[in-house]
Structures are given as C-alpha cells and as structure tokens.
Amino acid sequence: MAIESAVKRIGVLTSGGDAPGMNAAIRGVVRTCECLDIECIGIRHGYAGLISGDFISLNQSMVKGITVRGGTILCTARSKEFTTPEGLQKAADICRHMGIEGLVVIGGDGTFRGALALSQHDISVVGIPCTIDNDIGCTTYTIGFDTACNTAIDAVDRLNDTMQSHERCSVVEVMGRHAGHLALAVGIATGATIILVPEVEYDFDKDVIERIRTARLAGRNNFAVIVAEGAEPAYGVAEKIADATGIETRLTALGHIQRGGSPHVRDRIVGTSMGFKAVSLLASGKKSRIIAMRGDKFIDIDIVEALSLTKNFDFEMYKAFSALTFLDKQALLRTF
C-alpha cells in the first residue's frame, strides 16, 4: 500500500438483521481509520440513514469497550426506499455531497446487493459479511454465526434437561431464514434426534415419526427435534409428532434471542480483523470488494462475483449426523 491513503473520509453502516460481532467490526473500522488519518463517519440505521443523512462522526473514544456488546451501536434497518431508483440515486448523491470516498457496509446478502447498486453509481464500497445465518456464498464464515450457535446450544441443553425429566419430545425452531446451517450446527452440538432443514428433502412419516418410534423401542424416552425456520412451521411439526406418537411434545421458538448477547471469541476476532481489512482495502484504492474467509484466511473478492456464489450446505455432515444418531452402519459407510 502507498504511504498515503487513497481515501480521506469514509462512511460505515450496518444493515439488515443485526448479529453479535457487528460492534467489533465497527471498532476495527474506526481504529484503522484513526491510525491512517482517515475521517470516519458512522451512518445510523443502515441505508435508510444514508438517505436521510443520519450521520455521526466516529472516533476511537466512541468505540471504546463496544467489542463486548451485542447488537450494533449504529442501529440497523431494512430500507424500502433504498431499493427504488430514486432512493439509490439519493444515497449516491449524499455520499458525493458529504465527500464520502469509500463506504464500509456490514451485513448480509441484502446489504451486499445494496452495495453493488451503489458501486454501479460509482461509489467505492467494501462489504463485511455479518449474519447469524452463515448463508453468504463467497465466505465460509459470517460474523455472528458462532455466537448464535452457542446461544441456541445453551437453550437446547436446558430444554434437554427438562425433556429428560418429563420424558417428552422437544421441538425447537431455530433461525436461518432460507438456510439450515444454524440448525445443523445446533442439532449436531446438542445430540438432537432429528434435524429438519430446507436443503434436505424428507418424508415426515418415514424420517421423523418412524425414527422417533424406532428410538423409543430402542429405549430412548426423550427426544429433540431441531427445525430450521425455513424447513416448515415448527408448531406443525410438534403437533404431528404428538398426534402420531402420543408423546407429550413441547414447542420452543428461540427467535431473536439467537441474535443478541455478547459476542463469542470468534466473532470478536473476525469482526475486528474484517473491520481492519475493509479500511485497508479502501485506503489502498480498492473498490467494490467483499471480504471473505476461506478456512482461517481473509481474502477479498469482487462484489459481482461474490453475489453470484451460493453457499453449499454440508450434506456430508448431515448424513453422518443421521447415521450416527441412529447407529446406522450402512448409512455411515456410504458417507466415507
């Protein structure tokens, strides 16, 4: 990188659903700006705030101690106006008017689609993937996923205690929007009986009811079914299980609990690192990039390419989980 930064003033915003670790990313951005003598403007309420000029000047004292906090100090929103040609034009005009030479956007795929639209209006943008869903194609990891998994795991562990005492079946709905990554991780980590995800087709009678009956005949007397919200409504799953098996069944939708809380170590470190990397990309004159992880490495890729990629579901892991849960040797051997 040249000694002089290519940008003198940048903006940072968080958009879409919040995720633990967003604050670490903001702090990484602000402190890197401070180091490089770049002015940092915080844009509150995502793209809506960009359009309405909801700006706040950020410095290192304003981000002191925020790494430990869940949510986002900049607040977040999903803006309808920004998706219109007029709203987009207004946002780009405001960036130019305010002398914002680069924009760091922290969020999920909706946020990145907004960033792409802005880049087509000649605004330099860098995206930081941040969503508990871990559903962004270009990166193996999105900030917030680990903390959300741990929050959900803690809840399911507690539910398992009481299900075991009462010999009941617990149906737990976890978030993930259209993806089952969170459900798969939570199900495996808690030793669930069954995991239902949108990526894997299932026959309810065969793959849920029959399996619970078989497990009961083998001596099991409490069950946990993890349902990704994108698979099917969890209340229906609970009803069908209770009706077909006669087992007392309780439903818990974990909901927004999964989005809050103090970020775990991975989200603090990845958030901080990506915040640093975003500013260093803008400072070295790069534009239209998304930061991504491949294994433990941080890379950056063109935003158009990033948005063309879809995230693979870990079918191998899913199959191995099912085989191990039901001690199905043939199914397990097929995963080798």
CB of 15 or CB of 325, closer to ligand F6P? 15
Among all chains, which residue has been given the structure tokens 């085989």? 323
Is position 109 an interface residue for ligand F6P (rule: CB under 6 A)? no
CB of 46 or CB of 176, closer to ligand F6P? 176
Binder among 175, 188, 231, 241 for ligand F6P (CB under 6 A): 175
CB of 192 or CB of 254, closer to ligand F6P? 254
Q: How far is the CB of 229 from ligand F6P (least distance, A)?
A: 6
Q: Segment near ligand F6P (CB under 6 A), from 130-138, 200-208, 274-282, 285-293?
A: 130-138
Cα→Cα distances 82→41, 47, 101, 177, 212, Å: 19, 6, 19, 22, 48
Which residues in 10-29 contact ligand F6P (CB under 6 A)? 17
Q: How far is the CB of 132 from ligand F6P (least distance, A)?
A: 6
Q: How far is the CB of 22 from ligand F6P (least distance, A)?
A: 12
Query: With CB under 6 A, what is the number of residues at the site for ligand F6P?
Result: 10
Cα→Cα distances 333→201, 313, 328, 329, Å: 21, 20, 9, 6
CB of 17 or CB of 49, closer to ligand F6P? 17
Q: Which of 18, 37, 122, 133 is catalytic?
A: 133
CB of 123 or CB of 175, closer to ligand F6P? 175
Q: How far is the CB of 147 from ligand F6P (least distance, A)?
A: 12
Q: How far is the CB of 245 from ligand F6P (least distance, A)?
A: 29
Three-state secondary structure along the chain? Answer: CCCCCCCCEEEEEECCCCCCCHHHHHHHHHHHHHHCCCEEEEECCHHHHHHHCCEEEECHHHHCCCCCCCCCCCCCCCCCHHHCHHHHHHHHHHHHHCCCCEEEEEECHHHHHHHHHHHCCCCCEEEEEECCCCCCCCCCCCECHHHHHHHHHHHHHHHHHHHHHHCCEEEEEECCCCCCHHHHHHHHHHCCCEEECCCCCCCHHHHHHHHHHHHHHCCCCCEEEEEECCCCCHHHHHHHHHHHHCCCEEEEECHHHHHCCCCCHHHHHHHHHHHHHHHHHHHCCCCCEEEEEECCEEEEEEHHHHHHCCCCCCHHHHHHHHHHHCCCHHHHHHCC
Q: Segment near ligand F6P (CB under 6 A), from 63-71, 83-91, 120-128, 170-178?
A: 170-178
Is position 132 an interface residue for ligand F6P (rule: CB under 6 A)? yes
Residue 212 sits at φ, ψ, to 5 deg, of -65, -40
Q: Segment near ligand F6P (CB under 6 A), from 171-179, 238-246, 268-276, 289-297?
A: 171-179
Which residues in 142-161 contact ligand F6P (CB under 6 A)? none
The question of whether 133 is a catalytic residue gets the answer yes
Which residues in 183-222 contact ligand F6P (CB under 6 A)? none
Q: How far is the CB of 70 from ligand F6P (least distance, A)?
A: 13
Is position 131 an interface residue for ligand F6P (rule: CB under 6 A)? yes
Enter the tokens of residue 273. 């690192």
- Positions touching ligand F6P (CB under 6 A) are 17, 108, 131-133, 175-177, 229, 259
Which residues are identified as catalytic?
A: 133
